[in-house]
Structure 1
Amino acid sequence: MSLPKTMHTSQPWRIHELTSDFSVEDVWAFRTPGAGPDDFPTMLAAMRAAGGPMKQAWPVRFLFAVRWKLGTFLGWDRPSAGVGERVASLRDRLPDDVRGAPRGPDNESMPLKAVYELDLESARELANKTVHTVMHLGWVQGANGDHELRMAVLVKPNGWFGRLYMAAIAPFRHLIVYPALTRQWERAWRDRDQAQAEHGEGTS
């Protein structure tokens, strides 16, 4: 479910040290019944086992397919517009104690690339011609006492075009993408034991 932006900004996340020039676009909560304070790595593993955008329902897959086609046609996603080219990676801003922490796995199916992964939070980034964006995941205690996953999307639009782009896609994020992501990630938590067993059998 959607949360006020203060639910992200009021937390003592390390990401705040890196993103003073970014704005908080969205904050979303995901229910993880029975989760404890040490279960963030378990949740991340369950999410990875559940797959990325291509494992989503067809409306989300369709939206992503249209977006990538437009990006290819209009040149939004050229390497020259990405992280390390048009913008520097947030990894260049990491303090020494975070720089030595694990980054988290990257692969071609994950457009957002790892910045860092700590015991209670992680961050990934993506840049193109429209925006430099960060997906921050944090692990906090919810109102019912269980811990839960929270996602914050932070953005630095690329000029007026980037601001228009973010405004144009807001309804699709809120009405289609985030609800589908909620179903996928909350199901991943519920099915985590089965997914881990299957993954273990497949890699033995």
Structure 2
Amino acid sequence: MRAPKDVLRARRWIIDDIVHDFDVEDVWVLPMEGGPDDFEAVIDLVRSIDFPGSAPLPVRLLWDIRDLLGRIFGLGRISASADDAGDWPPVPGTEERSLLGRVPEELRNTATSPLVADKPFRPLYLTDTEFADEISNRTMYGVKHLAWAHQGGGRYRAYMTVYVKPRGAAGKAYMAFIKPFRYAIIYPALLRHLDRFWTERRVAH
């Protein structure tokens, strides 16, 4: 389910300094809870899940339509891997081609994994309680941040925050246009996927 945009403000996160000039698009409470050592399993699940490939037909159709529009209007494909995307457009308002330069030096190269080789995101960093990756296309520059937030009593819960910088008026219009589809179809399907696979993992262990 969606959460208030300030739900994680009770503590300071590394991502705060990296995306200080980005807008918070969404914060989602993910259906994954566990102990302090379970965040690695959360990351492995998010990285390995076949989404939208195994999602319901409406989700796959929306994904295919977005890629078709990307080819027609030069918006870039959302399903293309980061390695195949070539030189990314810079972060709007800067000359930066990646946010990796903003990541503390000791955290760079902490999030590399073969599981993300065919994904449209590029990893930024990984800690015991945070994971972030970035994506860029012709409409926006985005960052996906996963937080393993302490709920008290030694229990943790996963949250996903999406940060964006639209590319001009066209980017803002596009983000506004797709928002109802994301809220009504894309994110509910993703959360159901995560819930099912996390439950299966819990039963198996």
- TM-score, length-normalised on structure 2? 0.84
Instruction: Report the more deviating stretch, 167-176 or 112-121.
Output: 112-121
Aligned partner of 1:57 in structure 2 is: 56
| One-letter identity of the residue aligned with 1:134 | V
Tell me how far 1:143 sits from its aligned partner: 7.3
CA distance in 2 between counterparts of 1:195 and 1:72 reads: 42
Aligned partner of 2:6 in structure 1 is: 6
Larger helix percent? 1
Q: 2:130 aligns with which of 113, 121, 127?
A: 121
Cα separation, partners in 2 of 1:195 and 1:114, compared to 1, 3 Å: farther
Cα separation, partners in 2 of 1:143 and 1:176, compared to 1, 3 Å: farther
Structure 1 contact 47–189 (Cα < 8 Å) conserved:
no
Aligned partner of 1:201 in structure 2 is: none
Tell me how far 1:37 sits from its aligned partner: 1.4
**Residue by residue, what CA displacement relative to the aligned partner does 1:72-102 show, whole Å, maximum 9, x if unpaired?**
1111118477256985111121121222533
CA distance in 2 between counterparts of 1:19 and 1:101 reads: 18
Q: 1:161 aligns with which of 147, 170, 187?
A: 170
Q: How does 1:40-189 map to 2 (within 5 A)?
A: 40-77=39-76, 79=85, 82=88, 87-105=96-114, 106-108=116-118, 110-142=119-151, 146-189=155-198
Instruction: Report the more deviating stretch, 52-61 or 23-32.
Output: 52-61
Tell me how far 1:56 sits from its aligned partner: 1.4
CA distance in 2 between counterparts of 1:54 and 1:87 reads: 32
CA distance in 2 between counterparts of 1:174 and 1:143 reads: 29
CA distance in 1 between counterparts of 2:134 and 2:9 reads: 18
Q: How does 1:32-43 map to 2 (within 5 A)?
A: 32-33=32-33, 35-43=34-42
**What SS does the corresponding residue of 1:54 show, helix, strand or coil?**
coil
Structure 1 contact 32–146 (Cα < 8 Å) conserved:
no
**Residue by residue, what CA displacement relative to the aligned partner does 1:125-167 show, whole Å, maximum 9, x if unpaired?**
1111100011111111347863211000000010111111111
Tell me how far 1:52 sits from its aligned partner: 2.5
**What SS does the corresponding residue of 1:55 show, helix, strand or coil?**
coil
